[in-house]
Amino acid sequence: MKWITRERPKIDRIASPWLIKTFVDKDAEFIYVPFSEVLDKAKELNAIPFDIPNVEFTHYEEKSTFDYIVKKYQITDPAILIIADIVRGADTDRHDIAKESAGLWAISAGLSYNITDDYKLLENGIIIYDALYSWATHLYKQNHLQNSPFENLLHEVYLKFLKEKKTTNKKAPAWVKDLKAIIQDQIDTQFTFDLKKISNDLEINPSYLSREFSKYFDDLNFGDYVRKLRIEKAINLIENSSYTLTEIAYMTGFSDQSHFTRIFKIHTGKNPSSYRKKNTKK
């Protein structure tokens, strides 16, 4: 079986061939040509066009060509479903879909930059997806620190040091209480940190405020601390109210639901809808 697509592949046009050769047709042949020639060459060579508009094997709404092949051939391997999210996120610049998407994009872009021959690029790309498949099959839930007792020990010592540092801190200065009140008053709005204005309100030096902030606010910078409070409030609303997720995003100061979803997943490991479904079942 021959397959044909546009030249200079990066994500979908390497991931999809790997998927086809691994789960659909191990003898599949892939052809890369300029975009304007794909359909004519497909007819001439009796090849299946993919990852271009207006053909069967392509993107549908927010789904990638890789997603369509998984659906078309009813591939149910759990590792492939994990990889599908990563590929979709990398191919559509939606790195909030899977945390590994940004890494896959960086590696794929660098590989394409280094290798100008599309067929050599595919050959090397397949090695990457073989490795990704092994990770998704056997190592998906394993953290890097689990592999190294030495690094794990350093991590434990570091956490202990932070804990001891917190307990030995002197009493927080008065401005900390005042700043917490300012943040709390505005947590439901699209609050932007105007360092100069807040410093003036607190009557302290802006450089000092910037330097000292994390010491009294959970070792977080201002932006991360505000996002943490917003997500904590969002969790409370999800668990204890019937507001829609769009309403909750607005009520907790996020400018749009996609931003809310991305930050929520970073903090909880789940998107808001999945979190609500799980909580509802309890």
Between 94 and 2, residue with greater pLDDT: 2
Q: What is the pLDDT of residue 171?
A: 73
178 and 135 assigned to the same domain: no
Q: Which of 30-39, 190-199, 255-264 has the lowest mean pLDDT?
A: 190-199
Share of the chain above pLDDT 90, in %: 46
> Which residues on adjacent β-strands are paired with residue 5?
32
Res 3 pLDDT > 80: yes
Residues 125 and 191 in one domain: no
Give the pLDDT confidence of 183-214 residue by residue, as tens digits.
777 766 655 666 677 888 888 887 788 778 88
| Assigned domain for 221 exists | yes
Range of the domain at 216: 173-281
Top pLDDT among 198 and 281 is at 198
Same domain, 8 and 102: yes
Q: What per-residue confidence (pLDDT) applies to 149?
A: 58
| Residue 162 within any structural domain of the chain | no
Does some domain include residue 261? yes
Q: Which amino acid is at 31?
A: I
**Is residue 211 located within the same domain as residue 98?**
no
pLDDT in tens, 79-106: 999 999 999 999 988 888 998 999 999 9
Q: What angle do CA 261, 263, 269 make, to 5 degrees?
A: 85
Residue 150 inside a domain? The answer is no
Strand pairing partners for 57? 50
Q: Of 95, 114, 139, which residue sits at a domain end? A: 139
Query: Quick one: what percent of the chain has pLDDT higher than 70?
Result: 85
- Could you report the per-residue pLDDT of 104-123, keeping only the tens digit for each? 999 999 999 999 999 999 99
Of 125, 4, 15, 13, nearest to 80 by C-alpha is 15
C-alpha pair distances (Å), 32 with each of 2, 40, 65 = 11, 13, 16
Residues composing the chain: 282
Based on the fold, state whether residues 81 and 124 are members of the same structural domain. Answer: yes
Q: Are residues 23 and 131 in the same domain?
A: yes
pLDDT of residue 24: 95
Instruction: Tell me if 40 is assigned to some domain.
Output: yes
Q: What is the pLDDT, as a whole number, of residue 165?
A: 54
Residue 124 shares a structural domain with residue 234: no
* Angstrom distances, CA of residue 151 to CA of 144, 162, 243: 9, 17, 44
pLDDT, average across residues 250-261: 80
Same domain assignment for residues 271 and 199: yes
User: Is residue 158 domain-resident?
Assistant: no
Structurally, how many domains does the chain consist of? 2
pLDDT surpasses 70 at 169: no
